[in-house]
Amino acid sequence: MTTATIPSPTRTMTYLPALKKTDPKIRDLILQEEKREFEKLRLIPSENYASHAVKEATGGIFTNKYSEGYPNKRYYEGQQLTDQVESLAQERAKEIFGADHVNVQPHSGSPANMASFRAVLKPGDTIMGLSLPHGGHLTHGWKANFSGSLYNSVPYELDPETEMLNYDMILKQAREFKPQLIIAGYTAYPRKIDWTKFREICDDVGAKFHADTSHITGLIAGGEHANPFPISDIGITTTHKTLRGPRGAMILCKEENAEVVNKAIIPGIQGGPHIHTISAIAVALQEATTPEFKTYAQQVVKNAKALAERLLSHGFRLVTGGTDNHLILMEVFESKGIPGREASKSLDKAGIVCNCNMVPFDKRTPFNPSGIRIGTPSMSSRGMKETEMEKLGDWINEAISNAEDETVLARIAGEVKSMCIQFPAPGIDPANWNE
């Protein structure tokens, strides 16, 4: 097995000293998670590395403060600084994404979608979003979710021939069902989205246009993908994933929807906002305006394309035949004879972390589907490039081809660790582990 050496310690102060004294078990679990994120290749497309600055803000003093309401209109006193923090986050988001209004208070993407729908819909209204098994999200109309139980959901699907969005099919369905809201933006779709086509479809049937860019927001901020918010009526994004911020969310909308959006958050579904998270969102948005972030966004796409080409050379079948963004959806059951969950577990043993995932028109169950989903944001944040993606493609092929051979998987894990040590992970200092 290939061995790897962690860099020698450089710190002279105790790392997480208060936790070491108060709760050493939790401190130890934090250290173990840092090691795991440092020593493995993290391919889950929705995961990334937050910077030290984002982490400092997330764990900062604003965790102590209640601030129900909005800037200059709070229910509690002592808001002189929280107002400035939230306003900064709002203004930075508006500038980057060209939105009239931004609400930065949603705790995550699902409540952001819930509040967005609550703002512009009535219970029982008809919505259209991409079906979950085809790459949509739970909150886009899945029956087990609030979006499918509170609203009349008529999901659209991908083209069975191309596995891509078919805008003519979506328009035909919209004309038939006359939805009040059409959702664009996905969790497992590897191609670019024509936002203008969705705007035209919505205008044709009198529907609101909702854009959910949670997965690709960092690519939009970095100039790699088109920005829907100047033309959508309303939309949301999470603030982690490709944007590399804390785990939170934002609602972006036209000025005409600003008041109903704010009321949908509070008193609609939330109380006090998490100002410590909002402060970290502001930091992440500031980082997203730098030349370094643009370079990172470009490399995310380059890496995904390079990895896709390598996987294709090994005989894997990729949904849509490739990728335009940060993720790759692979079918492995029919092409490689291994279920998606078994493949993902074997890859994890090999130091390669991904998730099993349904593919369009999958005949297997969500708990053991035919595919796996992988992405390049985390690796790109570490500075890995096309050469590393080619090596990764070889490792994925070898691990899946030897899914039951513990010796092979352990060897690959050692080689993965050796490569990871060569690339710093933002927000993680290995020197801390030697105390």
Q: Tell me whether residue 36 is one of the annotated catalytic residues.
A: no
Query: In angstroms, how far is CA 102 from the centroid of its own chain?
Result: 19
Strand stretches in 171-321, DSSP E: 181-184, 208-212, 234-238, 249-253, 317-318
Q: Tell me whether residue 336 is one of the annotated catalytic residues.
A: no
Q: Which entry of 37, 47, 56, 68 is annotated as an active-site residue?
A: 68
The domain 29-49+291-427+430-434 is placed in CATH, from the list 3.90.550.10, 3.90.1150.10, 1.20.120.1200, 3.30.230.10, at: 3.90.1150.10
For residue 252, report the phi and psi dihedrals to the nearest 5 degrees.
Answer: -120, 130
Predicted pLDDT of residue 8? 46
Q: Which entry of 20, 35, 66, 435 is annotated as an active-site residue?
A: 66
Contact (Cβ atoms closer than 8 angstroms) between residue 181 and residue 152: no
Q: Which entry of 118, 241, 373, 417 is annotated as an active-site residue?
A: 241
pTM of the model: 0.95
Q: Which entry of 82, 238, 277, 320 is annotated as an active-site residue?
A: 238
Q: Tell me whether residue 66 is one of the annotated catalytic residues.
A: yes
List C-alpha distances in Å: 84 to 70, 143, 259, 275: 11, 40, 20, 11
Q: Tell me whether residue 76 is one of the annotated catalytic residues.
A: no
Q: Which entry of 157, 212, 233, 287 is annotated as an active-site residue?
A: 212
Predicted pLDDT of residue 391? 98
Full pLDDT tens readout for the chain, 435 residues: 444 454 444 545 789 999 999 999 999 999 999 999 999 999 999 999 999 999 999 999 999 999 999 999 999 999 999 999 999 999 999 999 999 999 999 999 999 999 999 999 999 999 999 999 999 999 999 999 999 999 999 999 999 999 999 999 999 999 999 999 999 999 999 999 999 999 999 999 999 999 999 999 999 999 999 999 999 999 999 999 999 999 999 999 999 999 999 999 999 999 999 999 999 999 999 999 999 999 999 999 999 999 999 999 999 999 999 999 999 999 999 999 999 999 999 999 999 999 999 999 999 999 999 999 999 999 999 999 999 999 999 999 999 999 999 999 999 999 999 999 999 999 999 999 876
Q: How far apart are CA 204 and CA 179, in angstroms?
A: 11
Contact (Cβ atoms closer than 8 angstroms) between residue 343 and residue 336: yes
In DSSP terms, which residues pair with 208 in a beta bridge?
Answer: 181
- Going from N- to C-terminal start, the domains of the chain cover 29-49+291-427+430-434, 59-287
Q: How many CB atoms lie within 10 A of CB 17?
A: 11
The domain 59-287 is placed in CATH, from the list 3.40.640.10, 3.90.1150.10, 3.20.20.10, 3.20.20.120, at: 3.40.640.10
Instruction: List the structure tokens of 401.
Output: 């081809």
Predicted pLDDT of residue 9? 45
Q: Tell me whether residue 187 is one of the annotated catalytic residues.
A: no
Q: Tell me whether residue 194 is one of the annotated catalytic residues.
A: no
